[in-house]
Amino acid sequence: MIRFENVTKVYKGDVVALRGASVDISKGEFVFLVGPSGSGKSTFIRLINRENIAEHGRIFVAGRDIGDLNSWKVPYLRRNIGYIFQDFKLLHKKTVWENVAFALEVIGKPRHVVRHQVSAIIDLVGLSHKQDRFPNELSGGEQQRVSIARAFVNRPLILLADEPTGNLDPKTSVEIMRLLERINDTGTTVVMATHDSSIVNRMRQRVVELNRGMITRDQARGVYQ
Amino acid sequence: MLSYRYTLRETTQNLQRNLQLATATIITVGVSLTMFGGFSLFQTAVDGATKRWADGIEFVIWMNVDTTEEADKHIRRMLENSPEIADWHYKDQEETYKEFKEIVAGNEEILDIVEQEILPPSYRVAPIDNDVDIVQELGDQFKGQPGVRTVTFAGEAIRDIQDLAQRSGRVLFIGSVILLGASTLLILNTLAIAISNRQREIEIMRIVGATKWFIRLPFMLEGLVQGVLGAAIAMVSNMLLRTYVIDRFGQTDAIQLLSGFKVSDAALLRTNLTVLIIAVIVSVIGSGFAVTIYLDDDN
Protein backbone atom coordinates (compact mmCIF):
# COMPACT_ATOMS: atom_id res chain seq x y z
CA MET A 1 0.00 0.00 0.00
CA ILE A 2 2.86 2.41 0.88
CA ARG A 3 6.45 1.96 -0.26
CA PHE A 4 9.40 4.27 0.42
CA GLU A 5 12.48 3.63 -1.73
CA ASN A 6 15.62 5.33 -0.44
CA VAL A 7 13.69 8.54 0.36
CA THR A 8 15.51 11.68 1.47
CA LYS A 9 13.83 14.91 2.47
CA VAL A 10 15.85 18.07 3.09
CA TYR A 11 14.28 21.26 4.41
CA LYS A 12 15.59 24.78 3.91
CA GLY A 13 18.90 25.39 5.61
CA ASP A 14 20.10 21.89 4.73
CA VAL A 15 18.11 20.32 7.55
CA VAL A 16 17.87 16.64 6.66
CA ALA A 17 14.51 15.37 7.96
CA LEU A 18 14.61 11.95 6.33
CA ARG A 19 17.72 10.19 5.04
CA GLY A 20 17.58 7.23 2.64
CA ALA A 21 14.42 5.76 4.17
CA SER A 22 13.11 2.52 2.67
CA VAL A 23 10.06 0.76 3.99
CA ASP A 24 7.13 -1.26 2.67
CA ILE A 25 3.72 -1.13 4.37
CA SER A 26 1.07 -3.60 3.24
CA LYS A 27 -2.67 -3.06 2.92
CA GLY A 28 -4.45 -3.31 6.25
CA GLU A 29 -1.30 -2.99 8.38
CA PHE A 30 -1.16 -0.93 11.58
CA VAL A 31 2.23 0.76 11.85
CA PHE A 32 3.60 2.88 14.67
CA LEU A 33 6.25 5.46 13.83
CA VAL A 34 8.31 6.13 16.93
CA GLY A 35 11.37 8.16 17.73
CA PRO A 36 12.39 11.35 19.52
CA SER A 37 11.15 14.79 18.48
CA GLY A 38 12.75 15.88 15.23
CA SER A 39 13.49 12.33 14.18
CA GLY A 40 11.40 12.68 10.98
CA LYS A 41 8.08 11.05 11.98
CA SER A 42 5.88 13.95 10.88
CA THR A 43 7.91 14.38 7.68
CA PHE A 44 7.38 10.68 6.94
CA ILE A 45 3.61 11.17 7.28
CA ARG A 46 3.52 14.38 5.27
CA LEU A 47 5.40 12.74 2.43
CA ILE A 48 2.69 10.08 2.11
CA ASN A 49 -0.08 12.57 1.33
CA ARG A 50 2.31 14.81 -0.62
CA GLU A 51 2.19 17.75 1.70
CA ASN A 52 5.95 17.46 1.31
CA ILE A 53 7.89 16.30 -1.72
CA ALA A 54 11.03 14.16 -1.38
CA GLU A 55 14.30 15.42 -2.84
CA HIS A 56 15.55 11.90 -3.54
CA GLY A 57 14.03 8.46 -3.80
CA ARG A 58 10.54 7.34 -4.73
CA ILE A 59 7.32 6.96 -2.78
CA PHE A 60 4.54 4.66 -3.97
CA VAL A 61 1.00 4.91 -2.61
CA ALA A 62 -1.46 2.25 -3.78
CA GLY A 63 1.04 1.27 -6.47
CA ARG A 64 1.50 4.77 -7.83
CA ASP A 65 4.68 6.85 -7.73
CA ILE A 66 3.37 10.03 -6.11
CA GLY A 67 6.51 11.97 -7.00
CA ASP A 68 5.37 11.88 -10.63
CA LEU A 69 1.85 12.98 -9.81
CA ASN A 70 0.64 16.18 -11.51
CA SER A 71 -0.30 18.79 -8.92
CA TRP A 72 -3.93 18.77 -10.09
CA LYS A 73 -4.13 15.05 -9.26
CA VAL A 74 -2.91 15.49 -5.67
CA PRO A 75 -6.42 16.25 -4.27
CA TYR A 76 -7.62 12.93 -5.71
CA LEU A 77 -4.71 11.12 -3.99
CA ARG A 78 -5.69 12.78 -0.72
CA ARG A 79 -9.28 11.61 -0.98
CA ASN A 80 -7.87 8.13 -0.33
CA ILE A 81 -5.90 9.23 2.70
CA GLY A 82 -7.46 10.28 6.02
CA TYR A 83 -5.46 12.55 8.32
CA ILE A 84 -5.72 12.95 12.08
CA PHE A 85 -3.90 15.74 13.92
CA GLN A 86 -2.67 16.07 17.48
CA ASP A 87 -4.58 19.35 17.91
CA PHE A 88 -7.74 18.01 16.18
CA LYS A 89 -8.01 21.02 13.82
CA LEU A 90 -11.78 21.22 14.10
CA LEU A 91 -13.70 24.22 12.79
CA HIS A 92 -15.07 25.97 15.86
CA LYS A 93 -18.02 27.65 14.16
CA LYS A 94 -19.32 24.35 12.85
CA THR A 95 -21.11 21.65 14.81
CA VAL A 96 -19.88 18.06 15.07
CA TRP A 97 -22.12 17.08 12.16
CA GLU A 98 -21.01 20.06 10.05
CA ASN A 99 -17.32 19.41 10.76
CA VAL A 100 -17.61 15.87 9.48
CA ALA A 101 -19.86 16.80 6.57
CA PHE A 102 -17.36 19.48 5.55
CA ALA A 103 -14.88 16.81 4.44
CA LEU A 104 -17.42 15.43 1.96
CA GLU A 105 -18.95 18.73 0.86
CA VAL A 106 -15.61 20.15 -0.24
CA ILE A 107 -14.94 17.20 -2.50
CA GLY A 108 -18.33 17.70 -4.11
CA LYS A 109 -20.27 14.72 -2.73
CA PRO A 110 -24.03 14.96 -3.30
CA ARG A 111 -26.19 15.93 -0.33
CA HIS A 112 -27.85 12.54 0.10
CA VAL A 113 -24.43 10.84 0.22
CA VAL A 114 -23.20 13.40 2.76
CA ARG A 115 -26.28 12.86 4.95
CA HIS A 116 -25.96 9.09 4.89
CA GLN A 117 -22.20 8.79 5.38
CA VAL A 118 -21.94 11.47 8.05
CA SER A 119 -24.69 9.95 10.17
CA ALA A 120 -23.07 6.51 9.89
CA ILE A 121 -19.59 7.67 10.85
CA ILE A 122 -20.80 9.82 13.76
CA ASP A 123 -22.59 6.74 15.00
CA LEU A 124 -19.38 4.70 14.61
CA VAL A 125 -17.38 7.12 16.79
CA GLY A 126 -20.20 7.18 19.35
CA LEU A 127 -21.17 10.85 19.09
CA SER A 128 -24.69 10.65 17.68
CA HIS A 129 -26.10 12.24 20.81
CA LYS A 130 -23.70 15.17 20.48
CA GLN A 131 -23.81 15.79 16.74
CA ASP A 132 -25.26 19.29 17.14
CA ARG A 133 -22.68 20.40 19.68
CA PHE A 134 -19.83 22.75 18.83
CA PRO A 135 -16.20 21.65 19.40
CA ASN A 136 -15.77 23.88 22.46
CA GLU A 137 -18.66 22.00 24.11
CA LEU A 138 -16.78 18.70 23.83
CA SER A 139 -13.97 17.06 25.82
CA GLY A 140 -10.56 16.50 24.21
CA GLY A 141 -11.31 12.85 23.57
CA GLU A 142 -14.62 13.69 21.95
CA GLN A 143 -12.97 16.31 19.76
CA GLN A 144 -10.42 13.73 18.63
CA ARG A 145 -13.25 11.34 17.82
CA VAL A 146 -14.81 14.04 15.62
CA SER A 147 -11.43 14.47 13.95
CA ILE A 148 -11.27 10.71 13.32
CA ALA A 149 -14.82 10.74 11.96
CA ARG A 150 -13.87 13.52 9.56
CA ALA A 151 -10.76 11.62 8.45
CA PHE A 152 -12.62 8.35 7.93
CA VAL A 153 -15.96 9.58 6.55
CA ASN A 154 -14.82 9.15 2.95
CA ARG A 155 -13.63 5.58 3.73
CA PRO A 156 -9.99 6.17 2.79
CA LEU A 157 -7.54 3.36 2.07
CA ILE A 158 -4.97 4.88 4.41
CA LEU A 159 -5.33 6.70 7.73
CA LEU A 160 -2.42 8.86 8.85
CA ALA A 161 -2.33 9.95 12.47
CA ASP A 162 0.24 12.42 13.76
CA GLU A 163 0.40 12.05 17.55
CA PRO A 164 -3.38 11.67 17.89
CA THR A 165 -3.18 10.99 21.64
CA GLY A 166 -0.60 13.68 22.34
CA ASN A 167 -3.13 16.00 23.97
CA LEU A 168 -5.20 13.34 25.74
CA ASP A 169 -5.12 11.65 29.12
CA PRO A 170 -4.23 7.91 29.24
CA LYS A 171 -7.82 6.66 29.61
CA THR A 172 -9.07 8.73 26.70
CA SER A 173 -6.01 7.70 24.67
CA VAL A 174 -7.01 4.07 25.09
CA GLU A 175 -10.52 4.84 23.80
CA ILE A 176 -9.07 6.59 20.77
CA MET A 177 -6.76 3.66 20.07
CA ARG A 178 -9.70 1.25 20.25
CA LEU A 179 -11.44 3.36 17.65
CA LEU A 180 -8.36 3.32 15.40
CA GLU A 181 -8.16 -0.46 15.82
CA ARG A 182 -11.79 -0.79 14.71
CA ILE A 183 -11.01 1.31 11.65
CA ASN A 184 -7.93 -0.83 10.97
CA ASP A 185 -10.12 -3.93 11.21
CA THR A 186 -12.10 -2.68 8.21
CA GLY A 187 -8.96 -3.10 6.09
CA THR A 188 -7.74 0.49 6.31
CA THR A 189 -3.98 0.86 6.59
CA VAL A 190 -3.10 2.96 9.65
CA VAL A 191 0.22 4.81 10.06
CA MET A 192 0.52 6.54 13.41
CA ALA A 193 3.35 8.69 14.73
CA THR A 194 3.50 8.62 18.53
CA HIS A 195 5.55 9.22 21.64
CA ASP A 196 3.17 7.18 23.78
CA SER A 197 5.14 4.10 24.83
CA SER A 198 2.29 2.53 26.80
CA ILE A 199 0.04 2.45 23.75
CA VAL A 200 2.75 0.99 21.51
CA ASN A 201 3.69 -1.63 24.07
CA ARG A 202 0.10 -2.65 24.68
CA MET A 203 -0.96 -2.95 21.07
CA ARG A 204 2.08 -4.89 19.82
CA GLN A 205 1.80 -3.80 16.21
CA ARG A 206 4.58 -3.18 13.71
CA VAL A 207 6.98 -0.47 14.90
CA VAL A 208 9.20 1.63 12.65
CA GLU A 209 11.69 3.66 14.62
CA LEU A 210 13.30 6.81 13.26
CA ASN A 211 16.35 8.58 14.57
CA ARG A 212 17.82 11.71 13.00
CA GLY A 213 15.92 10.96 9.81
CA MET A 214 17.06 7.37 9.47
CA ILE A 215 15.06 4.20 10.02
CA THR A 216 16.90 2.45 12.84
CA ARG A 217 14.40 -0.34 13.54
CA ASP A 218 11.51 -2.01 11.73
CA GLN A 219 9.95 -4.63 13.98
CA ALA A 220 6.78 -6.70 13.60
CA ARG A 221 4.70 -6.85 16.81
CA GLY A 222 7.22 -4.46 18.30
CA VAL A 223 7.48 -2.40 21.45
CA TYR A 224 8.47 1.20 22.08
CA GLN A 225 11.89 0.52 23.79
CA MET B 1 -17.49 18.26 -9.19
CA LEU B 2 -18.48 21.67 -7.86
CA SER B 3 -21.17 22.05 -5.26
CA TYR B 4 -23.04 25.24 -6.19
CA ARG B 5 -24.91 25.26 -2.90
CA TYR B 6 -21.64 25.05 -0.96
CA THR B 7 -19.92 27.70 -3.10
CA LEU B 8 -22.81 30.16 -2.75
CA ARG B 9 -23.05 29.57 0.99
CA GLU B 10 -19.32 30.14 1.50
CA THR B 11 -19.35 33.25 -0.70
CA THR B 12 -22.26 34.72 1.27
CA GLN B 13 -20.57 33.92 4.60
CA ASN B 14 -17.32 35.52 3.47
CA LEU B 15 -19.16 38.70 2.52
CA GLN B 16 -21.01 38.77 5.84
CA ARG B 17 -17.84 38.23 7.88
CA ASN B 18 -16.10 41.08 6.09
CA LEU B 19 -19.13 43.31 5.74
CA GLN B 20 -17.51 46.68 6.46
CA LEU B 21 -14.54 46.20 4.19
CA ALA B 22 -16.72 44.65 1.50
CA THR B 23 -19.06 47.67 1.69
CA ALA B 24 -16.12 50.06 1.37
CA THR B 25 -14.92 48.12 -1.67
CA ILE B 26 -18.34 48.12 -3.30
CA ILE B 27 -18.72 51.88 -2.78
CA THR B 28 -15.23 52.59 -4.16
CA VAL B 29 -15.92 50.45 -7.23
CA GLY B 30 -19.28 52.23 -7.57
CA VAL B 31 -17.79 55.73 -7.32
CA SER B 32 -14.96 55.00 -9.74
CA LEU B 33 -17.28 53.46 -12.29
CA THR B 34 -19.76 56.34 -11.87
CA MET B 35 -16.91 58.70 -12.71
CA PHE B 36 -16.03 56.59 -15.71
CA GLY B 37 -19.67 56.37 -16.77
CA GLY B 38 -20.13 60.13 -16.25
CA PHE B 39 -17.09 60.83 -18.39
CA SER B 40 -18.42 58.58 -21.09
CA LEU B 41 -21.97 60.01 -21.00
CA PHE B 42 -20.82 63.66 -21.03
CA GLN B 43 -18.50 62.88 -23.91
CA THR B 44 -21.40 61.29 -25.79
CA ALA B 45 -23.63 64.30 -25.06
CA VAL B 46 -21.01 66.85 -26.11
CA ASP B 47 -20.20 64.87 -29.26
CA GLY B 48 -23.91 64.85 -30.07
CA ALA B 49 -24.38 68.55 -29.44
CA THR B 50 -21.30 69.56 -31.41
CA LYS B 51 -21.46 66.80 -33.97
CA ARG B 52 -21.49 69.06 -37.00
CA TRP B 53 -18.47 70.94 -35.63
CA ALA B 54 -16.21 67.93 -35.28
CA ASP B 55 -12.94 67.38 -37.21
CA GLY B 56 -12.01 71.04 -37.48
CA ILE B 57 -15.24 72.14 -39.17
CA GLU B 58 -15.54 75.87 -38.41
CA PHE B 59 -18.43 76.96 -40.59
CA VAL B 60 -21.32 75.48 -42.56
CA ILE B 61 -22.65 76.87 -45.83
CA TRP B 62 -26.34 76.00 -45.95
CA MET B 63 -27.72 75.88 -49.47
CA ASN B 64 -31.29 76.44 -50.55
CA VAL B 65 -33.34 73.27 -51.01
CA ASP B 66 -33.97 74.23 -54.64
CA THR B 67 -30.43 75.38 -55.46
CA THR B 68 -29.53 75.17 -59.13
CA GLU B 69 -26.69 73.03 -60.36
CA GLU B 70 -24.91 76.13 -61.60
CA ALA B 71 -25.03 77.80 -58.17
CA ASP B 72 -23.78 74.61 -56.56
CA LYS B 73 -20.83 74.34 -58.95
CA HIS B 74 -19.96 77.96 -58.24
CA ILE B 75 -19.69 77.31 -54.49
CA ARG B 76 -17.58 74.18 -55.10
CA ARG B 77 -15.23 76.17 -57.31
CA MET B 78 -14.87 78.82 -54.61
CA LEU B 79 -14.06 76.15 -52.04
CA GLU B 80 -11.57 74.38 -54.29
CA ASN B 81 -9.81 77.57 -55.28
CA SER B 82 -9.52 79.06 -51.80
CA PRO B 83 -5.95 78.68 -50.44
CA GLU B 84 -7.24 79.20 -46.88
CA ILE B 85 -9.46 76.11 -46.83
CA ALA B 86 -7.89 72.87 -45.64
CA ASP B 87 -10.83 70.56 -46.21
CA TRP B 88 -14.53 70.53 -47.01
CA HIS B 89 -17.26 68.03 -47.67
CA TYR B 90 -20.80 68.11 -48.97
CA LYS B 91 -23.79 66.70 -47.11
CA ASP B 92 -26.85 66.07 -49.23
CA GLN B 93 -30.40 66.00 -47.89
CA GLU B 94 -30.26 62.31 -47.07
CA GLU B 95 -27.10 62.67 -44.98
CA THR B 96 -28.45 65.81 -43.34
CA TYR B 97 -31.63 64.00 -42.37
CA LYS B 98 -29.59 61.13 -40.92
CA GLU B 99 -27.55 63.57 -38.85
CA PHE B 100 -30.73 65.37 -37.76
CA LYS B 101 -32.23 62.10 -36.56
CA GLU B 102 -29.15 61.42 -34.44
CA ILE B 103 -29.25 64.88 -32.92
CA VAL B 104 -32.93 64.71 -31.95
CA ALA B 105 -32.91 61.01 -31.17
CA GLY B 106 -35.74 60.07 -28.85
CA ASN B 107 -37.81 63.18 -29.66
CA GLU B 108 -40.53 61.53 -31.73
CA GLU B 109 -42.66 64.66 -32.04
CA ILE B 110 -39.96 66.57 -33.91
CA LEU B 111 -39.06 63.54 -36.01
CA ASP B 112 -42.70 63.21 -37.05
CA ILE B 113 -43.01 66.74 -38.39
CA VAL B 114 -39.60 67.08 -40.06
CA GLU B 115 -39.10 65.38 -43.41
CA GLN B 116 -35.98 64.89 -45.46
CA GLU B 117 -37.20 67.12 -48.28
CA ILE B 118 -37.30 70.27 -46.15
CA LEU B 119 -33.75 69.90 -44.83
CA PRO B 120 -31.15 71.91 -46.75
CA PRO B 121 -27.93 70.38 -48.11
CA SER B 122 -24.73 71.94 -46.87
CA TYR B 123 -20.97 72.32 -47.21
CA ARG B 124 -18.92 71.67 -44.07
CA VAL B 125 -15.73 73.68 -44.20
CA ALA B 126 -12.49 73.27 -42.26
CA PRO B 127 -10.15 76.27 -42.71
CA ILE B 128 -6.37 76.02 -42.42
CA ASP B 129 -6.32 78.70 -39.70
CA ASN B 130 -9.12 78.52 -37.12
CA ASP B 131 -8.62 82.02 -35.72
CA VAL B 132 -12.12 83.39 -35.09
CA ASP B 133 -11.66 86.57 -37.19
CA ILE B 134 -10.13 84.74 -40.14
CA VAL B 135 -12.87 82.10 -40.05
CA GLN B 136 -15.54 84.81 -39.88
CA GLU B 137 -14.02 86.66 -42.84
CA LEU B 138 -13.71 83.46 -44.85
CA GLY B 139 -17.31 82.42 -44.16
CA ASP B 140 -18.65 85.86 -44.98
CA GLN B 141 -17.31 85.45 -48.55
CA PHE B 142 -20.00 82.84 -49.13
CA LYS B 143 -22.88 84.86 -47.76
CA GLY B 144 -25.07 86.26 -50.49
CA GLN B 145 -23.67 83.96 -53.16
CA PRO B 146 -26.31 82.45 -55.47
CA GLY B 147 -28.03 79.43 -53.91
CA VAL B 148 -26.64 80.10 -50.41
CA ARG B 149 -29.30 80.29 -47.74
CA THR B 150 -27.03 81.14 -44.81
CA VAL B 151 -23.63 80.52 -43.26
CA THR B 152 -23.29 79.42 -39.64
CA PHE B 153 -20.13 79.42 -37.56
CA ALA B 154 -18.91 77.15 -34.79
CA GLY B 155 -17.83 80.17 -32.89
CA GLU B 156 -15.85 80.37 -29.66
CA ALA B 157 -18.66 79.01 -27.49
CA ILE B 158 -18.67 75.67 -29.30
CA ARG B 159 -14.90 75.43 -29.09
CA ASP B 160 -15.06 76.33 -25.40
CA ILE B 161 -17.59 73.58 -24.76
CA GLN B 162 -15.48 71.07 -26.64
CA ASP B 163 -12.35 72.15 -24.76
CA LEU B 164 -14.14 72.09 -21.42
CA ALA B 165 -15.61 68.68 -22.15
CA GLN B 166 -12.24 67.40 -23.20
CA ARG B 167 -10.46 68.72 -20.12
CA SER B 168 -13.10 67.69 -17.59
CA GLY B 169 -13.40 64.36 -19.39
CA ARG B 170 -9.68 63.84 -19.01
CA VAL B 171 -9.85 64.62 -15.27
CA LEU B 172 -12.82 62.26 -14.83
CA PHE B 173 -11.07 59.57 -16.83
CA ILE B 174 -7.79 59.83 -14.90
CA GLY B 175 -9.70 59.98 -11.60
CA SER B 176 -11.73 56.91 -12.48
CA VAL B 177 -8.62 54.98 -13.56
CA ILE B 178 -6.90 55.83 -10.24
CA LEU B 179 -10.01 54.81 -8.28
CA LEU B 180 -10.32 51.61 -10.29
CA GLY B 181 -6.72 50.82 -9.33
CA ALA B 182 -7.68 51.47 -5.70
CA SER B 183 -10.75 49.25 -6.14
CA THR B 184 -8.57 46.42 -7.43
CA LEU B 185 -6.31 46.76 -4.38
CA LEU B 186 -9.33 46.92 -2.06
CA ILE B 187 -10.77 43.73 -3.54
CA LEU B 188 -7.36 42.09 -3.17
CA ASN B 189 -7.16 43.28 0.45
CA THR B 190 -10.69 42.15 1.33
CA LEU B 191 -9.95 38.70 -0.04
CA ALA B 192 -6.58 38.56 1.73
CA ILE B 193 -8.44 39.10 5.02
CA ALA B 194 -11.11 36.56 4.09
CA ILE B 195 -8.42 34.01 3.25
CA SER B 196 -6.55 34.77 6.46
CA ASN B 197 -9.78 34.33 8.49
CA ARG B 198 -10.28 30.93 6.95
CA GLN B 199 -6.77 29.50 7.12
CA ARG B 200 -7.84 26.46 9.10
CA GLU B 201 -10.74 25.68 6.77
CA ILE B 202 -8.45 25.99 3.78
CA GLU B 203 -5.91 23.67 5.43
CA ILE B 204 -8.62 21.08 6.10
CA MET B 205 -9.95 21.42 2.57
CA ARG B 206 -6.51 20.67 1.15
CA ILE B 207 -5.95 17.73 3.48
CA VAL B 208 -9.27 16.06 2.61
CA GLY B 209 -8.72 16.51 -1.12
CA ALA B 210 -10.60 19.60 -2.24
CA THR B 211 -9.37 20.77 -5.64
CA LYS B 212 -7.55 24.05 -6.11
CA TRP B 213 -10.51 25.59 -7.92
CA PHE B 214 -13.01 24.40 -5.34
CA ILE B 215 -10.99 26.26 -2.70
CA ARG B 216 -10.49 29.33 -4.87
CA LEU B 217 -13.96 29.72 -6.29
CA PRO B 218 -15.80 31.17 -3.25
CA PHE B 219 -13.09 33.84 -2.94
CA MET B 220 -13.17 34.62 -6.66
CA LEU B 221 -16.95 34.87 -6.48
CA GLU B 222 -16.73 37.17 -3.48
CA GLY B 223 -14.55 39.54 -5.50
CA LEU B 224 -16.91 39.28 -8.45
CA VAL B 225 -19.96 40.05 -6.30
CA GLN B 226 -18.22 43.16 -4.93
CA GLY B 227 -17.38 44.30 -8.46
CA VAL B 228 -20.87 43.66 -9.83
CA LEU B 229 -22.57 45.40 -6.88
CA GLY B 230 -20.23 48.37 -7.43
CA ALA B 231 -21.19 48.32 -11.11
CA ALA B 232 -24.88 48.28 -10.13
CA ILE B 233 -24.37 51.46 -8.09
CA ALA B 234 -22.61 53.05 -11.05
CA MET B 235 -25.32 51.98 -13.52
CA VAL B 236 -28.08 53.47 -11.38
CA SER B 237 -26.00 56.64 -10.93
CA ASN B 238 -25.49 56.86 -14.69
CA MET B 239 -29.23 56.60 -15.29
CA LEU B 240 -29.89 59.36 -12.75
CA LEU B 241 -27.11 61.46 -14.28
CA ARG B 242 -28.65 61.09 -17.72
CA THR B 243 -32.17 61.88 -16.57
CA TYR B 244 -31.58 64.66 -14.08
CA VAL B 245 -28.46 66.39 -15.37
CA ILE B 246 -27.60 65.76 -19.02
CA ASP B 247 -31.12 65.71 -20.42
CA ARG B 248 -32.04 68.83 -18.42
CA PHE B 249 -29.14 70.70 -20.04
CA GLY B 250 -30.47 69.68 -23.43
CA GLN B 251 -34.00 70.84 -22.59
CA THR B 252 -33.06 74.26 -21.33
CA ASP B 253 -34.01 77.17 -23.62
CA ALA B 254 -31.55 79.49 -21.95
CA ILE B 255 -28.49 77.87 -23.43
CA GLN B 256 -29.05 77.43 -27.14
CA LEU B 257 -25.66 75.88 -27.65
CA LEU B 258 -26.67 72.95 -25.50
CA SER B 259 -29.66 71.96 -27.61
CA GLY B 260 -28.92 68.43 -28.77
CA PHE B 261 -27.01 67.85 -25.54
CA LYS B 262 -28.51 64.46 -24.70
CA VAL B 263 -27.75 60.80 -24.33
CA SER B 264 -29.83 58.21 -26.16
CA ASP B 265 -31.05 55.00 -24.53
CA ALA B 266 -28.64 53.05 -26.72
CA ALA B 267 -25.68 55.18 -25.58
CA LEU B 268 -26.70 54.72 -21.93
CA LEU B 269 -26.99 50.98 -22.41
CA ARG B 270 -23.59 50.91 -24.11
CA THR B 271 -22.02 52.87 -21.25
CA ASN B 272 -23.62 50.67 -18.59
CA LEU B 273 -22.48 47.51 -20.35
CA THR B 274 -18.95 48.92 -20.52
CA VAL B 275 -19.16 49.73 -16.80
CA LEU B 276 -20.24 46.17 -16.05
CA ILE B 277 -17.45 44.68 -18.15
CA ILE B 278 -14.85 46.90 -16.45
CA ALA B 279 -16.23 45.87 -13.03
CA VAL B 280 -15.90 42.21 -13.94
CA ILE B 281 -12.34 42.75 -15.23
CA VAL B 282 -11.33 44.70 -12.10
CA SER B 283 -12.78 42.10 -9.75
CA VAL B 284 -11.28 39.17 -11.65
CA ILE B 285 -7.85 40.84 -11.57
CA GLY B 286 -8.16 41.71 -7.85
CA SER B 287 -9.45 38.33 -6.75
CA GLY B 288 -7.14 36.47 -9.15
CA PHE B 289 -4.10 38.13 -7.61
CA ALA B 290 -5.45 37.54 -4.09
CA VAL B 291 -5.95 33.80 -4.50
CA THR B 292 -2.65 33.42 -6.34
CA ILE B 293 -0.67 35.32 -3.72
CA TYR B 294 -2.43 34.37 -0.50
CA LEU B 295 -3.60 30.83 -1.14
CA ASP B 296 0.00 30.01 -2.06
CA ASP B 297 -0.79 26.47 -3.07
CA ASP B 298 1.28 24.31 -5.33
CA ASN B 299 -1.06 21.39 -4.68
Q: pLDDT by residue (tens digit) across A146-160?
A: 999 999 999 999 999
Q: Is residue B257 pLDDT above 60, yes or no?
A: no
Which parts of chain B are beta strand (E)? 59-63, 85-91, 122-127, 148-153
Q: Which residue in A50, A108, A154 is closest to B214 by CB distance? A: A108
- Chain A contact for B295 (CB, 8 A cutoff): no
The pLDDT value recorded for residue A9 is 93
Q: What is the pLDDT of residues B205-217, one digit of tens each?
A: 999 999 988 888 8
Q: Which residues of chain A have pLDDT under 50?
A: none
Q: Is residue B5 pLDDT above 80, yes or no?
A: no
> Minimal CA–CA distance to B208: which of A156, A113, A212?
A156
Under an 8 A CB cutoff, do B205 and A76 touch? no
Q: Which of residues 212-271 of B touch A (CB under 8 A)?
A: 212, 214-215
Q: Which of residues 32-51 of A touch B (CB under 8 A)?
A: 49-51
Q: pLDDT band for position B103 (50/70/90)?
A: low
Q: Mean pLDDT, to the nearest integer, of B256-267?
A: 70
Pairwise CA distance, residues A120 & A210, whole Å: 37
The pLDDT value recorded for residue A127 is 94
Q: Is residue B113 pLDDT above 60, yes or no?
A: yes
Q: CB count, 10 Å around CB of A87?
A: 13
B210 contact residues in A (CB cutoff 8 A): 75, 106-107
The pLDDT value recorded for residue B104 is 65
Q: What is the pLDDT of residues B15-26, one digit of tens each?
A: 888 888 889 889
Considering Cα of A37, then A91, then B5, then A112, what sign does the dihedral take? positive
- CA-atom Rg of chain A in angstroms: 17
Q: Is residue B299 pLDDT above 80, yes or no?
A: no
Q: Count residue pairs from A and B with Cβ separation < 8 A.
A: 60
End-to-end Cα distance, chain B:
17
A114 contact residues in B (CB cutoff 8 A): none
Q: pLDDT band for position B260 (50/70/90)?
A: low
Q: pLDDT band for position B39 (50/70/90)?
A: confident
pTM over 0.80: no
- Chain B contact for A155 (CB, 8 A cutoff): no
The pLDDT value recorded for residue A167 is 86
Q: Which residue in B3, B5, B208 is closest to A78 by CB distance? A: B208
ipTM at complex level:
0.90
- Residue A218, phi then psi, degrees to nearest 5: -140, 105
Q: Is residue B93 pLDDT above 60, yes or no?
A: yes
The pLDDT value recorded for residue B155 is 66
Q: What is the pLDDT of residues A171-219, one digit of tens each?
A: 999 999 999 999 999 999 999 999 899 999 999 999 999 999 999 999 9
Name which residue leads in pLDDT, B48 or B83.
B83
- Chain B contact for A107 (CB, 8 A cutoff): yes
- Chain B contact for A93 (CB, 8 A cutoff): no
- Chain B contact for A187 (CB, 8 A cutoff): no
Q: Is residue B232 pLDDT above 80, yes or no?
A: yes
Under an 8 A CB cutoff, do A111 and B211 touch? no
Pairwise CA distance, residues B59 & A1, whole Å: 89
The pLDDT value recorded for residue B240 is 92
Under an 8 A CB cutoff, do A108 and B3 touch? yes
Do A91 and A102 contact (CB within 8 A), yes or no?
yes
- Chain A contact for B132 (CB, 8 A cutoff): no
> Which residue in B has a C-alpha nearest to residue A83's C-alpha?
B207
Under an 8 A CB cutoff, do A91 and B201 touch? yes
Which own/partner pairs from A61-65 qualify as long-range (CB within 8 Å, at least 24 positions apart)? A61/A1, A61/A2, A61/A158, A62/A1, A62/A157
Under an 8 A CB cutoff, do A75 and B5 touch? no
A49 contact residues in B (CB cutoff 8 A): 207
Q: pLDDT band for position B296 (50/70/90)?
A: low
Q: pLDDT band for position B183 (50/70/90)?
A: confident
Under an 8 A CB cutoff, do B6 and A154 touch? no
Do A149 and A88 contact (CB within 8 A), yes or no?
no
Nearest CA-CA distance, residue B8 and chain A, Å: 13
A71 contact residues in B (CB cutoff 8 A): 212, 298-299
The pLDDT value recorded for residue B171 is 81
B201 contact residues in A (CB cutoff 8 A): 91, 102
